[in-house]
Amino acid sequence: MRLDPFTAFMYWHMEWHTEHHAFPNVPCYNLKKFHRLTSEHWEKPLSLVAAWREMDDHAKRELVLADPE
């Protein structure tokens, strides 16, 4: 997901979390630039609300799969 500058600061710039885990050798201060250079290989970023909806849908699916009844 991508955030406005204030929310990104309050969120510790975790909007670059996927890039960090995919390429851990890229320093955190270069992740935004790295994302711009490789943007054609990434999915379109979600808004914060859309990301929460996606996580909620995924959690609901997992709970249904985990229910033995």
Compare 65 and 7 and report the one with higher pLDDT: 7
> Which whole-number Å values give the CA distances from 46 to 42, 55, 65, 67, 69, in the listed order?
12, 11, 26, 29, 34
Work out the number of other CB atoms within 10 angstroms of the CB of residue 53.
12
Residue 67, pLDDT score: 65
Res. 62: pLDDT tops 80:
yes
Q: How many residues does the chain have?
A: 69
Domain ranges of the chain: 5-66
Least confident of 4-8, 27-31, 42-46, 56-60: 42-46
